[in-house]
């Protein structure tokens, strides 16, 4: 139950892998290196986890076994790379590869988040304006309009009904409004709902390209690194599938594993799922399977789609900003028209 509340930021996991790599490379024993890491890490959760690793290693167990006990925090990909390093005797190099790949993943996530900051600020400002108007400004203005003794236009009547309902049930609306993000987060923990949500993202025109690009970068890079480390293709596919956050793509890779188990090529399945995998992905993987350069082609795909995501994120920001500004303008314009029309009717009775 305690582990449920533990969380370790991605940057802390990167630091853990990189610093442990340096200590092992410098000749420090694994338990001593972990002890030094526990002293210097600012994360309390990670400090407790590392102390648990030390206890496990002192009992004769491997570091990967301790990591597997915290699989929800570190992920299958992290655990697998460490396990491969322990098997091959190159734990230090495996940790370095791991740190570098996690840094690339963090950089990609950072680009997406940075690009969405301004649209989110506009959206929050719009919501703030709506709440301010509904609960503070309009309740004082609208009663004056009803006293004008004129036939109120439809926009004004709609606004009055909306404000009356919001004012009467504010004690229900406000808590529900602030609890909505929490409710959505909890609903997305349900596997069937999360699968529907992830599939819906793939049919959303504005963000589909970014979602597909990010997933392909994560999949190809993880798959390539596992193969470079000497993991068999089936095991590499299984670990790569489990490391994907998008459950729709995870299901697709799991289906592809069935194809590979039957002796068919991975690219054969990918070609039948063009809605998930662009032709370029299937074609380059097919070439790699034929020529024996699958690992190099996967790394190329990861780099190519990372550049594509960067470009698409810029286009996404350029698209969302004017749309949100337009929405804000229409909302304020509707309120303004709803207030001005009755006043205009009174001032021009002949009309």
Q: Residues near 232 by Cβ (< 8 Å), separated by ≥ 6?
A: none
pLDDT of residue 250: 93
Through-space distance between the first and last CA atoms of the chain, rounded to whole angstroms: 71
CA angle 47, 9, 238 (to 5 degrees): 100
Return the pLDDT at 5. 41
Residue with token string 């009356």 = 164
Contact of 79 with 64, CB cutoff 8 Å: yes
Sign of CA dihedral 132, 147, 337, 161: positive
Q: Which helix (H) or strand (E) holds 3?
A: helix 2-5
Is residue 270 a contact partner of residue 277, using CB atoms and an 8 Å limit? yes
> In the prediction, which pLDDT does 10 show?
87
| pLDDT for the residue numbered 176 | 81
Are 160 and 152 spatial neighbours (Cβ–Cβ below 8 Å)? yes
Predicted TM-score of the model (pTM): 0.78
- In this predicted structure, what is the pLDDT of residue 302? 92
Environment class of 265 (CB within 10 Å of its CB; exposed 0-12, middle 13-18, buried 19+): middle
- Spatial CB neighbours of 85, under 8 Å, sequence gap ≥ 6: 91, 92, 93, 94, 95, 229
Q: Which domains does the chain have, with CATH numbers?
A: 2-102 (1.20.81.30), 103-351 (1.20.81.30)
> Closest Cα to residue 255, out of 284, 225, 276?
276
Give pLDDT tens digits along the chain (351 positions).
344 445 788 889 999 999 999 999 999 999 999 999 999 888 888 899 999 999 989 888 899 999 988 888 888 888 888 988 888 888 898 899 889 888 988 888 888 888 778 778 887 888 888 878 877 887 888 787 777 777 788 888 888 888 888 888 888 877 887 888 888 888 888 989 999 999 998 888 878 888 999 999 999 998 998 888 888 899 899 989 988 889 999 999 999 999 899 989 999 999 999 889 999 999 999 999 999 899 999 999 999 999 998 888 888 777 787 888 888 888 888 888 888 888 777 776 554
């Amino acid at each position: 139950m305690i582990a449920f509340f533990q969380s370790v930021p991605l940057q802390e996991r990167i630091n853990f892998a990189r610093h442990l790599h340096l200590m092992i490379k410098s000749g420090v024993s694994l338990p001593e290196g972990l002890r030094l890491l526990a002293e210097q890490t600012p994360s309390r959760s990670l400090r407790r986890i590392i102390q648990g690793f030390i206890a496990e290693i002192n009992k004769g167990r491997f570091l990967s076994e301790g990591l597997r006990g915290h699989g929800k925090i570190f992920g299958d990909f992290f655990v697998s790379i460490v396990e491969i390093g322990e098997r091959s005797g190159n734990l230090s190099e495996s940790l370095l590869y791991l740190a570098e790949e996690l840094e690339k993943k963090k950089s990609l996530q950072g680009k997406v988040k940075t690009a969405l900051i301004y649209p989110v600020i506009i959206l929050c400002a719009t919501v703030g304006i709506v709440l301010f108007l509904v609960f503070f400004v309009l309740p004082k203005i609208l009663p004056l309009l009803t006293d004008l003794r004129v036939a109120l236009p439809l926009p004004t009547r709609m606004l009055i009904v909306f404000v009356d309902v919001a004012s009467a049930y504010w004690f229900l609306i406000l808590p529900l409004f602030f609890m909505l993000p929490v409710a959505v987060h909890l609903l997305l923990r349900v596997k069937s709902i999360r699968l529907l949500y992830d599939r819906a993202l793939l049919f959303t025109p504005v963000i589909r390209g970014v979602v597909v690009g990010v997933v392909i970068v994560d999949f190809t890079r993880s798959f390539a690194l596992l193969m470079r480390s000497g993991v068999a293709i089936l095991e590499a596919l299984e670990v790569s599938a489990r490391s994907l956050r998008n459950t729709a793509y995870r299901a697709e890779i799991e289906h592809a594993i069935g194809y590979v188990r039957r002796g068919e090529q991975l690219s054969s399945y990918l070609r039948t799922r063009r809605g998930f995998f662009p032709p370029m992905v299937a074609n380059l993987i097919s070439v790699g399977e034929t020529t024996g350069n699958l690992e190099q082609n996967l790394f190329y795909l990861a780099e190519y789609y990372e550049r594509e995501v960067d470009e698409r994120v810029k286009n996404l920001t350029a698209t969302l900003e004017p749309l949100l500004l337009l929405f804000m303008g229409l909302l304020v314009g509707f309120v303004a028209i709803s207030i001005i029309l009755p006043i205009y009717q009174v001032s021009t009775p002949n009309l």
